[in-house]
Chains A and B, each alone.
Chain A
Amino acid sequence: MTMETTTKNPEAASVPPPGPAPAKRRVTQGHRRLLTRRDRITLAVMAGVPTILHLALVWVTALASIALAFTTWDGIGFDSIKWVGLENFKQLFSDNPQFWPAVEHNVIWFVVLILVPTPLGLFLAVQLDKRIRFSRVYQTAFFLPVVISMACIGFVWQLVYNPDTGLINSLIGANKPGHYIDWIGDPKLNLWAVLVAASWRHTGYMMILYLAGLKSVDPSLREASALDGANEWQTFKSVIFPTLRPTNTVVLVVTIIEALRAFDLVFVFNKGAQGTELLSILVTNNIIGESSRIGYGSAIAVVLLVISLAVIIPYLVATFRKERRS
């Protein structure tokens, strides 16, 4: 009986019965009535201080990015802020030789992460979920790159890719003059080289997320499918994978966000030189570079913001709606 319901609606298992909900409402209303004046002030401070800090540093600045994107400003006095309308965006879209390559690289970054390390992470998770020996040891090895800082990873992979002294060129004999393969400098190669490093890290992350997802799969589903005579692949394809839907959503969102956030690795690798431009790098170069153009840098940030929110908001709204129901 229970098995049938779980097979039909795997999400039902994670949703508690709707019984306690009205009771909860009554309790919280009771809470409210018992509050003294001092309690109310305490509560206001408890919720208010963190909210103000968060809003001021994250959302006010995000809104300021939007506002500044339509202006030019030298950053010195507030009177020098001038409204220029869409001028920054016009320049960005038509005159900046780095902008469209950067957009393309961010897209490639996402496509590669979702096509290579994500399925690989899922595959490893499925294998490691089979209650085999040394599972912990393998997990640690795959997960190690996730713990280390991106900056450190950048340096470690430079040792692999260095044209003169690196592992790859030394192994294939490409470190002699005339035979150089410049993995870091060559604009045709460097994005792929850095993506190998990024995928190396992303695989472990995906593996951990999927392992957690697999742990919550009802074991009776597997038994039922084995009794029906399904082989391993069939079981995975038609029983396990569909129940991983919540994990898949998280993985998709995490991967998109990672692709938009990609920065440290490239910056350490070659400072975002030709071939590895990214939106995040363009924004940063606009600040720490010699010619800081505030309005222009904000316009790039707005592009990044719009793409991010297009992913974040639907995801969060769906998540919270589900939670409110439960």
Chain B
Amino acid sequence: MELVQKPGLGELRERVRFMGVFAFLAIAVLIGRVFYIQILDSAAWIQIAEDNVLRRVDLPSTRGMIRDAHGRVIAANRPSYNVYVIPGYFRIEGFARFADYLGLNRDERDRLEARMRSAEGSRRFQHLLGRADIDREALALIETHRAELPGVSVIATPVRQYPFGELASHALGFLNEVNADDLREFAGRDYRAGERIGRSGLEQAWESILRGRRGWVRLEHDVRGLLISRDSMAGLGPDRRREPVPGRDLVLTLDMELMRAIDRAFRGKPSGAAAVVDVRTGRVLALYSRPSIDPNLMTTGIPALLSHEIDENPYRPRIDKTIYESYFPGSTFKPFTALAGLQAGLIDARSQVTCTGRHELGHRVFRCKHVHGVVSLHRAIVESCNVFFYTLAEAVTMDRIANMAFEFGLGRRSGIGINQETPGFIPTRAWYAQNYPGQFRIGHTLNTAIGQGNTRVTVLQLAMAYAALANGGTLFVPQLVDRVEGPDGDTIQTFPPTIRRHVAVDPAYLAMIDSALAGVIGEQAGTAHAAQIAEVDVAGKTGTAQVSRIVRDPTDPRRSWSTQRDHAWFAGFAPAQNPEIAIVLLVEHGGSGGHEAAPLVTQVVREYFTRIRPGAPIPSVAAFRARQPQR
């Protein structure tokens, strides 16, 4: 080349070569950087890319329904529309309109706005609850103005609904939001904040069956959080959907018509409880505690004011009086004392005691309600003579009474499997020796014999025990759930009756007691004769349990209602011949069992056998109907 080179052109070329090296290195660094991001560090970025567009949207499972023995729906689900907002996508200028659509009051409005404005970092892109369970009108407004409300979404979630309201609410229980403790305790079970969990009763005990399993779908969203209908993300993972598994249904042994009948019978009585069981199976047909709280309220959240009122209510609506509270059984306990004496061979049908209205023991006097004169065991039960049982108790001793009570399931948890169940209490010599060393007196045995002193039973325990009296000595485990059904109505599992034990008592003695129990209503002198009904013969025992609760503030009118009056009991079964149901009913501080409890029981029994009980009427009802003039 014949080039005339200007001075410095060689040096210039040197420099250009240096530039080439520099450029090569610079672009090599860029390639290295891209390699690092795209290959070495890619896992994290892929995850973010997926999370950017594929948001997991829950597919809620529907909670199983609860039905009674005859298919009546006791717990179901209705849709609740909850409005959520993602602050990061929401235009805060539009807040006033948004709040109007939701119908928020000034206070709620301010709180929501503050929460939205204060959301920072990743929390700006999380759903924030605007309002739960909006009405149809608000729903229509939100849907109409969807386009102007970026970041707002309406999510329909099922809410538990209890068509029978307060009825059977203690047994059913309720749902409320999972709390931090639940999330810890059930860590493996995929509970989510805001989700509802069975909090008591059957809803709690059968949570895992009723709940089902949540599903989800990963749907593509754009940067504003709007759902993209297109479905073509080739580069992203395959696990896009998990179908929800609906919860299973429970079919109970309860009969809600019977529950209604009990509720009607209790009209005018502020507080009490009742249990009805099938003596042939141990199935619980009714479990009634009064007063109670509407579980619909409990599930949606009770306003603070109402909650306070419930807490202050002297009738204690939160307490399940069938299994959580125990009471002195009073005279309803006497059959077991009698059986202890019979089984020990200390008395028989011919044994007699003369009742002078009082029984002296050392310097103490134990009283009877009446002067019964010469009484046999039969009369002692029919007319509820305490002196007979005081006399008997001295011979039988405390531990024989206690063992007979235990035999019938008293003083032990029944095993119903819901809520907290109290075992009640049956005192023994050993217990006195341990707790009151040297203080035991025969008087304690006397009190135990008539269901006072330290003896405490639950309504359900007594019902199971009377069922055993009625059925020839089979003690069942009380059963509330008959079967589990799938969503299509197919039976998944049925639960047969569970026998706890056959009581170690001679059937002849049981027959003697049953006959005496029939006399309580059936005989002229019976303590509950006034409650007799024509349709069905009812057997049972009245009880008037003395109450030793201390009146803390007798001037408080709300407290003074109760505490001095005795609890009124009636425990029995029907029909007296060929028994089908055992029924125990307690009117708290009702007064005399014969006057206050027995009529309620016979009213319920009449309703049950003439109207509620399925199948052909029992002979006595049929005969009664035949006697009635045709209308």
Q: Do A and B come from one complex?
A: no
Task: Give B contacts to A, CB under 8 Å.
Answer: none
